[in-house]
Structure 1
Amino acid sequence: MSKTGAGRGAQAFTRGLAALAQYVQREQRTVIPRQHTERITVDGQDHDVRLGVWVSNQKSRRDKLNEQQLAQLAELGMDWV
């Protein structure tokens, strides 16, 4: 079974959101350097998320995010949502 583009996008959003939550909890801030990479573990597998780039991309494409995604970002303190 192959993943659709939307499936990969949803997975990437979920990983990015998990990395953002981990970063915010640890650092107690939402300012993320563009070059920052956050390591997260999902289903027993480690993933390196280019968090600074991911946040920048979400911000620039926020008009394409759905209401749930926007709410999840707002919950983590992203004031641009």
Structure 2
Amino acid sequence: MNGVDVGTRTARQTDPAVWNTLNDEQQKRLEGLGLTPQTAPAAKEKGKGAGAFERGITALTQYAAREGRVVVPRAHIEETPHGPVRLGTWISNTRTRRNKLTDQQREQLAALGVDWATAT
């Protein structure tokens, strides 16, 4: 469509900020195609990736309960109710960035038996 991807165009047109600028006829045409304005995404606790830590903790808890340990192979992918989590990668990245963890996050890791969570 004039060099623009249809998916990109659809996403743009259904964005509430754009949708509200369309006239009634334009909105009716889009609705006739089955399109409606997008709902606003739920606000995250903090910036990008706020939910990633919680998904990682869920996956690590599940893994620890099943395996009886928190040492995870780097390539391990844990299937969770929220989808697959690259648990080995998550642990490695979390350890590398441990200085940026909140006290609560460190406590969650320590409660699961992650020894480096309490070290500074």
TM-score (norm 1): 0.86
In the TM superposition, structure 1's runs of 4+ consecutive aligned residues that sit over 3 Å from their partners are: none
The alpha carbon displacement at 1:8 in A equals 4.2
Report the 3-state secondary structure (helix = DSSP H, G, I; strand = E; otherwise coil) of the residue aligned with 1:39.
strand
Matched residues, number: 77
Matched AA of 1:36: H
Give the aligned partner of residue 40 of structure 1. Answer: 80
The alpha carbon displacement at 1:7 in A equals 4.8
Equivalent positions of 1:1-81 (< 5 A) are: 1-2=40-41, 6-41=46-81, 46-81=82-117
- Please tell me the root mean square deviation across aligned C-alpha atoms, in Å: 1.7
More strand per residue: 1
TM-score (norm 2): 0.59
Report the 3-state secondary structure (helix = DSSP H, G, I; strand = E; otherwise coil) of the residue aligned with 2:51.
helix
Matched AA of 2:70: T
The alpha carbon displacement at 1:30 in A equals 1.1
Unaligned runs of 5+ in 1: none
Unaligned runs of 5+ in 2: 1-39
The percent of aligned pairs where both chains have the same amino acid is 51
